[in-house]
Amino acid sequence: MPALEVGAKAPDFELTDTEGKKVHLYDVLKEGKPVILAFYPAAFSPVCGDEMSLFQETLGEFERLGARIVGISVDNYWSVAAFAKAKGIKYPLLSDFHPKGAVARKYGVMRDDGIAERALFIIDPGGTVRYSYVSPILENPGADRLLEALEQMRAVRA
């Protein structure tokens, strides 16, 4: 199954964050803000300011545009918690570990080699996919495309 496209209904899920709290997508959406889902292949990647760190640096801009972000990988909870701590990640990083990659699979971004694609989705408060992007696996997609998409969503609403 290819990655979910714009216009699709976002599949609901419930995953555990690094504090052991359950995060339920549609509960988060009830707050009325768009939610960015950032799937990434695995915790600990070698480049400075890797993707999850870069999004940490972008939190202020995401907030300014009224959006929330969560990261999702197929790593187990302890690995994700260690990663979040080492990188100073303050937004939720969710563990899609058991059954492995079940959520990534629902979004069409689980790979045959056992890791998730590096993929970005923006879900609007109504639960519709408003942005979908699968990055080359070794390229950090950056934040510019997300900021642009969020700005466009606001322009449409205004």
Partner 1 sequence: MTDPTTTGEVHRLRAPISDEDWWRGPATAPVTLVEYADYECPHCQAMYPVLERLFNSYRDHMRFVVRHFPVTSSHPHAADAALAAEAAGRQGRFWEMHRRLFEHPGKLAPEDLLAHARAIGLDMGRFEDDINDAALRQKIEEDKRLGLRSGVNGTPTLFINGVRYDGPRSFEALADVIEREAHKGGQR
Answer yes or no whether residue 106 interacts with partner 1 by CB under 8 A.
no
Per-residue contact string for residues 118-157; x = within reach of partner 1 by CB under 8 A: -----------------xxxxxxxxxx--x----------
Answer yes or no whether residue 57 interacts with partner 1 by CB under 8 A.
yes
C-alpha 103/C-alpha 106 separation (Å) is 5
CA distances from 108 to 46, 55, 118 (A): 26, 22, 12
Q: How far is the CB of 50 from partner 1 (least distance, A)?
A: 7
> Residue 2, preceding bond cis, omega within 30 degrees?
no
Q: Which stretch binds partner 1 (CB under 8 A): 2-10, 13-21, 56-64, 124-132?
A: 56-64
Q: Quick one: three-class SS letters along 118-137?
A: EEEEEECCCCEEEEEEEECC
Tell me if 126 sits within 8 A of 111, measured CB to CB.
Answer: no
Q: How far is the CB of 64 from partner 1 (least distance, A)?
A: 9
List contacts with partner 1 (CB under 8 A): 47-51, 53-54, 56-58, 61, 86-90, 135-144, 147
